[in-house]
Structure 1
Amino acid sequence: MHTLDFEAIGTQWQLTTAAPLSPGTGGAVTELVESYDRTWSRFRSDSTVARMAETAGRFELPASAAPLLRLFDTLQQLTGGAVNPLVGRSLEVLGYDAAYTFQRSGPSAPAAAWDDTVSWTADGRGTTLTTSAPVTFDIGAAGKGQLVDLVCAVLDEAGHREYVVDAGSDLRHSGGTPLRVALEHPYDATRAIGVLTLADRALCASAVNRRQWGDGLHHVLDARTGSPVDAVAATWTLAPDAMTADGLATALFFTGPEELSRSFTFDYVRMFTDGRADYSPAMAGVLFP
């Protein structure tokens, strides 16, 4: 097997392929990641998201924005507004800002209402997003998963059929030997609560310990209040693609799996802060007794 390691969008990536990547394919991955970051990062001053935070208006986005925005449309409806990519300003108030101050600057601030603030249209060439007020996007609920899928598409186009794309807590496997993956305990990174087998699917996880600072402050916020969640500690979801798995891993902090399963097909494990766990029937054997 051949590996390519790099850092992007704030996390460490590893691409594992049965055949080595050509220079052209490696370059295409690098260009894709840079383009995605230049569009969506709220941590760089030259991004489209940075311009959205300065002024309302019309913004031209790549064609790949449409499925991401469509997913957010659905998730914000299913969670009653708890999952909302306009939560960036709420994170900034709590200290998770572009300068990484990790210093709270005020009381928790709810995100702007998605349906009242944003509209968008798409065709085969691109996506046009219109905002009625300056807003700070944070697509962390599903964006890293989408970027995993986009990297997989580059590998597919180059003829790779056996690979693993690993972006920290987001994984996607294709072909070859199934991958055994440990489910990291949210309160002790040296332990696992179980192990599952990943084959031709995506696995995404979200946990309150991943980005944590201060007393009870972390990156999983309820956009309706701007406050960190306190009932669920970690989630893991399996789905056909990483964008969906990533978004559902976030949504499970706020909404029961029964509601989400009306719109999506997935498997899951969810661990609560009191130590309890629930899971879909297909995941019954993956947890340690």
Structure 2
Amino acid sequence: MTTLAEQLPHVAAFPHALGTGLLIHTEHPLSEAARGRIGSFIERYESVLSRFREDSTVARMRAARHGGTFVFPDWCADLFDLHDRLFTATGGAIDPCVGEDLIRLGYDASYSFVVSPDAFGYDSSDDAFVRSDTLDTAAAQHFGDAIRTKAEREWHLGAIHGRAAWVNDVTRNGATLVTHRAVALDFGSCGKGYLVDMIAGLLADDIDRVDEANRSQPTSMAAHDHPDSEISPALERRQTAATPGAGQCSNPNYVIDAGGDLLVNIAEPLTIALEDPSDASRAVGTAELRHSAFCASAPSRRHWGEAAGHQLHHLLNAIDGLPVDDVAATWVAVSAASSAYPTAVADGLATALFTTPASRLSHCFDFNCAILNADRTATQSEGFPGNVFTR
């Protein structure tokens, strides 16, 4: 079995992409023009969709107190379609409007990790009163329950407490979004995977450019000044690759790695370790990949502090706005031939499995998965391309 470095010896790095960095492993070096197009599109992508940039379209939506009409690039339409599907499949537990909850919990543009005073709606000094020795155990419990009930009514987290919701507060016409209030969108559930799929289309399109250049005189490559113009052929390429019977051999061999979100298209299987969410130096399993997307999710990668009895991390149930605490990690594999956006689907489902059973999601999506629960028990689907080792 050959190693990844032997199969794909060339690596192009985009270290600042989406905050995690992005690596592209290829058989042959990327041309400078291809690097420029990809780098330019990453910048364009973030300038539109990143809630961590003050100049992004998403940031303008949050700043628009009375809402407005926001025209996104055409290539965003399929991302919005996928969020429609995820919202429906999870009953609203996956919702890009969860951005407001993340901000209130401290995962904001400045990475303050300071919980907003109105997030949980009560003063923690009430808890001290509940623990007072002047009350017997039963009275303290009763009083504590009353405070928590009152507090939960005053919380500002989640759709159930009035936060905007994707289907209720955002009207969509293709890639145009209309709102009537400030809405804080976060596309983190599948946005990184969607970027990977876009880049895969650009890689395939670059092969056509090279072939055309070999048949004719070189032409000017000023397209990185207009990155949106590159995406139509890239989309067509992704859709062609996902057409049954189209096969994979017409596409370049590559591995795209965006902070662990993988799109793999290689001749010999790539074996990867499944990271233990409790100890990044250990593995809890392995998987083998050839022509598929593979994404993982775990709160251990982004967590901070505690509030109101909840360990704070970025994997929330958008219905109540609270971090999910009964799942430790998920891994999802999606065949590259099953979707025009396999990495986006895998990325979104790796998040959705924190809120929604795999059996329910399987009615809406074609995927395989493994789940490590908080109690260290594990389950995996029959077609999962690997094994999880349990204690």
Specify the alignment match of 2:284 in structure 1.
193
Structure 1 residue 53 displacement after superposition = 0.4
What does residue 280 of structure 1 align with? 381
Contact 2:287 2:385 in 1 (8 A): no
Q: How far apart, CA to CA, are the structure 1 residues paired with 2:332 and 2:202?
A: 24
* Equivalence for 2:22: 13
Which has the larger share of strand?
A: 1
Instruction: Check if 1:170 corresponds to 2:179.
Output: no
Q: Which residue of 1 aligns with 2:316?
A: 221
Q: Which residue of 2 aligns with 1:115?
A: 167
d(CA) in 1 for partners of 2:191 and 2:82?
A: 10
CA deviation digits over 1:57-105, x for unaligned, max 9? 1111112211111111111111111100011110011110011111111
Query: 1:262-273 counterparts in 2 under 5 A?
Result: 262-273=363-374
Q: Is the 8 A contact 1:118 1:129 kept in 2?
A: yes
Q: What does residue range 134-153 of structure 1 map to in structure 2 within 5 Å?
A: 134-153=182-201
Question: Which letter does structure 1 place at the counterpart of 2:324?
Answer: V
> Whole-Å Cα distance in 2 between the matches of residues 260 and 273 of structure 1?
20
**Which residue matches 2:204?**
156
Does residue 83 in structure 1 map to residue 131 in structure 2? no
What residue number does 2:354 align with? 253
Coordinate RMSD, CA, aligned: 1.3
Counterpart in 2 of 1:74? 85
1:276 Cα deviation after fit:
1.0
2:378/2:388 contact within 8 Å kept: no
**What residue ranges of structure 1 are gaps of 5+ in the alignment?**
none
Match of 1:2 among 10, 15, 19: 10
Tell which deviates more after alignment, 3-12 or 189-198.
3-12
Preserved contact between residue 316 and residue 324 of structure 2 (Cα < 8 Å): yes
CA shift at 1:198, angstroms? 0.8
Please give the alpha-carbon distance, in whole angstroms, between the structure 1 residues aligned to 2:30 and 2:385.
37
Give the equivalent residue in structure 2 for 1:52.
61
Q: Distance in 1 between matches of 2:385 and 2:291?
A: 19
1:238 aligns with 2:246: no
Distance 1:13 1:284, change over 3 A: closer
TM-score (norm 2): 0.71
User: Structure 1 residue 131: deviation in Å?
Assistant: 1.3
Residues 103-141 of structure 1: per-residue CA shift (max 9 Å, x gap): 11132511412211012122xxxx211112111111000
Contact 2:171 2:178 in 1 (8 A): yes
Quote the offset at 1:218 in angstroms. 0.4
Please give the secondary structure, in 2, of the residue aligned with 1:155: helix
User: Secondary structure at 1:66's aligned position in 2?
Assistant: helix
Matches within 5 A, 1:94-109: 94-106=105-117, 107-108=119-120, 109=157
- Give CA deviations for 1:139-169 in whole Å, capped at 9, x if unaligned: 0000000001011111011126110000112
Helix, strand or coil: the match of 1:91? helix
Q: Aligned partners of 1:49 and 1:161: how far apart in 2? A: 33
CA displacement 1:229-265 (0-9 Å, x = unmatched): 1111111100131000001111111111111111111
List aligned pairs for 1:20-35, cutoff 5 A. 20-35=29-44
Alpha-carbon deviation of 1:224? 1.0
What percentage of residue pairs aligned between the two structures are identical? 44
Whether the 8 Å contact between 1:169 and 1:206 is mirrored in structure 2 is no
What secondary structure is seen at the aligned counterpart in 2 of 1:65?
helix
How high is the TM-score relative to the length of structure 1? 0.96
Give the paired residue count.
Answer: 285
Matched AA of 1:49: V
Deviation at 1:285, TM superposition (A): 4.8
| Unmatched tracts of structure 2, length 5 or more | 1-8, 121-156, 208-250, 337-341
2:58 alignment partner AA: V
Give me the whole-angstrom Cα distance separating, in 2, the residues matched to 1:287 and 1:134: 43
Greater share of residues in helix: 2
